Structure 1
């Protein structure tokens, strides 16, 4: 039986003003904005639609190289050969780190070339160095995607060069950016570097295209993208205080429009929402009934602090309910997940937090079990529901 309880803890302290925070209306054709500190999706506009990702899909190539570094297949000093195909990417136009046939760039140099110069040639060199061919590497990326949480991504090349079937969703790009931040903290700071020139060859292409890095708003990554098919896009991240957001947008008409929209999103995400501590770890939120236990109920507590993101201006109160399948059957072990706290905040998806038992509840003694069984039998005999 699913029980619903009103929490003992009051969650109504966030009714701060008379007007609700309005949803952000973005000019991007698709967008996903995520608060990493609380796990809250702040915006979802066509976020699961597979779209041409342009150079933003280089994040997957970078991820594959970071994974190779992490598991020891390569080191920062490993060198790769430069093929005709890689050199041709420079001749075909687009972003480049200006590699030549006789170069033997290191993994460290290629990482800088992919991130800062957005080098298509660098991506081809990495793909061939890790998988033999770019086609094999693209297949590996497609197969790897679901294992790291990507649900709408297929890859046809390593650089994001326009190709039929080369697609990623904005949610996938955001999830991928989140992974690069959380799983590769030693390498992530490279995304914030503003310029790089391999052997001094890229005077016109040495600057990082991320328009947010020099604005003093906490931006430190990740990757821009542009093709005529995709429009202008950006996977970005910014950190202010204890909060970090990540976002992915695409379909803007110009690099200026991309820069302005990205800055607006960062400002909105940090100014229109505030982070609150709803409950500390171990704070009793509610009580659950226990059947045939040496206690009739057990306290329900969060195992970790509950941090909630709420609109800075809300009209309705933040509300919550506790749900569990009950009554719980003894024995109940302290720390076992037995219930769920569901928090409802205006203009945001419900937040679900597991609750654990505050204490052990053992089985009832023989006499209590007999008396309980007797009451149940009496209730059934008299036509009353069993208690």
Structure 2
């Protein structure tokens, strides 16, 4: 009884690159930059994204991720203590951004993380790296292993802080991958990145309170991360993220000429993404998206689902050009097993297929008993009714 069938059930979404959806000319004043819609993964803006940069303190995103991995595995706990070495302390005395830890201090993993993420403390980076791996060099090996796992193919880390080193390099594209990974895998720890102040109740002195270096956090704009950077040779950089409702954008830029330019241009890029594009939810993982015809089953329809969230980002006012349908051989002969592959969800823009996703049975459908099958078959022969 199988016949080729198409089930149309949506009228929106696309996976085209930005070039497929031309919008008005747009540029920001940075040497290199990238903008991504977090849910769909769509790249909305790019400017020389594979240009090699010195990531400066954006390196600290990876330092945090390595520690978050160890917290997740149970190899570390937030209240574990690290003894501060003279090597780590010296960075607090050399004019770099610091948490101002002292030699011999025993500092918790959580305080060091906040000193890194909020206060951008280079001394905290070294202390944490030495506490985890013994030496900063060994910790850098862990950082590079994680970078390879994430897919950061144009990155090399030589230290935990991003301090001047010609062999500590990356790209805005790779920093974006790292930032996306951070937000997706560690949403609870990611909340550290939006904290505006950190007070270090240091040994042998009054508490020191420092503000977060990220200028966008203070603009009542919805920004909740991520990390600034500065090196004289690179100028100013920023990995930033904004969340409006369920929608999130991530931007990375480097080569801003001034602090003010970094702030203004990063906000301009994020605002442009929010203003010119919509993000559409097509399907949620393991949730019913539709139902298909069943032949000789105890149910006439079977619910189907996809195994991944599907979001699409499109320029505003383009929804009318988008369609989706499920293509399958149907009606589908019972019995049907839960999670059985049943067809293909196909996405079109102006009648051109641009994406395909497998769909699966949401439930078991048992076959009718013999008498019921005979009656249904006779009905079909007489009436053409399945």
- Are the aligned partners of 1:96 and 1:205 in contact in 2 as well (CA < 8 Å)? no
Q: Deviations over 1:165-201 (max 9, x none)?
A: 2122223222222222232233221111111232367
1:225 equivalent to 2:229? Answer yes
Sort the Cα spacing of 1:158 and 1:21 in 2 relative to 1 into closer, same or farther, 3 A. Answer: same
Sort the Cα spacing of 1:329 and 1:48 in 2 relative to 1 into closer, same or farther, 3 A. Answer: farther
SS of the aligned residue for 1:257 comes to: helix
| Among candidates 122, 125, 148, match of residue 123 of structure 1 | 125
- Are the aligned partners of 2:40 and 2:311 in contact in 1 as well (CA < 8 Å)? yes
Shift of residue 54, structure 1, vs aligned partner: 0.6
Q: Deviations over 1:141-187 (max 9, x none)?
A: 11222223433221111100121221222232222222222322332
SS of the aligned residue for 2:217 comes to: coil
Residue 317 of structure 1: aligned partner: 321
- Are the aligned partners of 1:97 and 1:205 in contact in 2 as well (CA < 8 Å)? no
1:110 equivalent to 2:85? Answer no
SS of the aligned residue for 2:269 comes to: helix
Q: Deviations over 1:223-251 (max 9, x none)?
A: 10111222211111111111112221111
| Among candidates 180, 197, 200, match of residue 199 of structure 2 | 197
Residue 85 of structure 2: aligned partner: 83
TM-score (structure 1 length as normaliser): 0.76
Count of paired positions: 354
| Among candidates 49, 52, 66, match of residue 64 of structure 1 | 66
Residue 11 of structure 1: aligned partner: 11
Residue 177 of structure 1: aligned partner: 179
| Cα separation, 2, equivalents of 1:36 and 1:29 | 23
Larger proportion of strand: 2
Residue 385 of structure 1: aligned partner: none
Structure 2: segments with no counterpart, 5+ residues: 15-20, 368-386
| Cα separation, 2, equivalents of 1:12 and 1:216 | 32
Sort the Cα spacing of 1:195 and 1:6 in 2 relative to 1 into closer, same or farther, 3 A. Answer: same
TM-score (structure 2 length as normaliser): 0.76
Sort the Cα spacing of 1:352 and 1:76 in 2 relative to 1 into closer, same or farther, 3 A. Answer: same
SS of the aligned residue for 2:80 comes to: coil
| Cα separation, 1, equivalents of 2:79 and 2:290 | 53
| Cα separation, 2, equivalents of 1:27 and 1:188 | 28
Sort the Cα spacing of 1:305 and 1:186 in 2 relative to 1 into closer, same or farther, 3 A. Answer: closer
- Comparing 186-195 with 53-62, which one deviates more in the overlay? 186-195
Sort the Cα spacing of 1:350 and 1:59 in 2 relative to 1 into closer, same or farther, 3 A. Answer: farther
- Are the aligned partners of 1:57 and 1:160 in contact in 2 as well (CA < 8 Å)? yes
Residue 376 of structure 2: aligned partner: none
Sort the Cα spacing of 1:355 and 1:87 in 2 relative to 1 into closer, same or farther, 3 A. Answer: same
- Are the aligned partners of 2:200 and 2:208 in contact in 1 as well (CA < 8 Å)? no
SS of the aligned residue for 1:248 comes to: strand
Structure 1: segments with no counterpart, 5+ residues: 288-292, 364-387
| Among candidates 148, 151, 154, match of residue 150 of structure 2 | 148
- Comparing 78-87 with 206-215, which one deviates more in the overlay? 78-87
Shift of residue 284, structure 1, vs aligned partner: 4.8
1:215 equivalent to 2:254? Answer no
Matches within 5 A, 1:1-387: 8-9=8-9, 11=11, 21-22=23-24, 24-199=26-201, 206-278=210-282, 282-284=288-290, 302-303=305-306, 306-314=310-318, 317-319=321-323, 335-337=339-341, 340-343=344-347, 351-356=355-360
Sort the Cα spacing of 1:207 and 1:360 in 2 relative to 1 into closer, same or farther, 3 A. Answer: closer
Sort the Cα spacing of 1:278 and 1:196 in 2 relative to 1 into closer, same or farther, 3 A. Answer: closer
